[in-house]
Amino acid sequence: MSHFDELLIDADPGFFEVMGDACVYTDGAANTYPTRVIIEKNVEQFSAYETTVPVRRNVASLIKSEVPDPKRGHTIQSGADTYTVDQLASDDGHVLRVLLQ
């Protein structure tokens, strides 16, 4: 791993502290995990739902070390909004991106 990669990994928690919103992640067993989330709304996604038509989805980014393995049906509560996880979109080993229902 390069020094630059290590710097980016070390920066993740600070980035989420500044850019993210406080939230509570709840898994399927009703265990809660206080963390921070970045919600991107109306992200255009291609090939969704096994079609070639683009659709707009909400996407949540979370720090991997602070949440369990995300699964469909888990929830993220941020302020007055509650989002339901649909599926994992990406996992770079440090930051998880999940598609929301």
- What's the pTM value of the predicted model, to 2 decimals? 0.82
What is the Cα–Cα distance from 42 to 24, expressed in whole angstroms? 22
**Range of the structural domain that residue 84 is part of:** 3-100
Q: Identify which has the larger pLDDT, 4 or 22.
A: 22
Confidence of residue 8 (pLDDT cuts 50, 70, 90): low
**Assigned token pair, 48:** 């969704």
**Which CATH number belongs to the domain containing residue 80 in this structure?**
2.40.10
**Residue closest to 98 by CA, chosen among 81, 84, 79:** 84
**Residue range 2-24: mean pLDDT, rounded:** 74
Q: Which uninterrupted H or E stretch holds 34?
A: strand 32-45
pLDDT tens per residue, range 56-90: 899 999 999 999 899 999 999 999 999 999 999 99
pLDDT tens per residue, range 32-47: 999 999 999 988 877 6
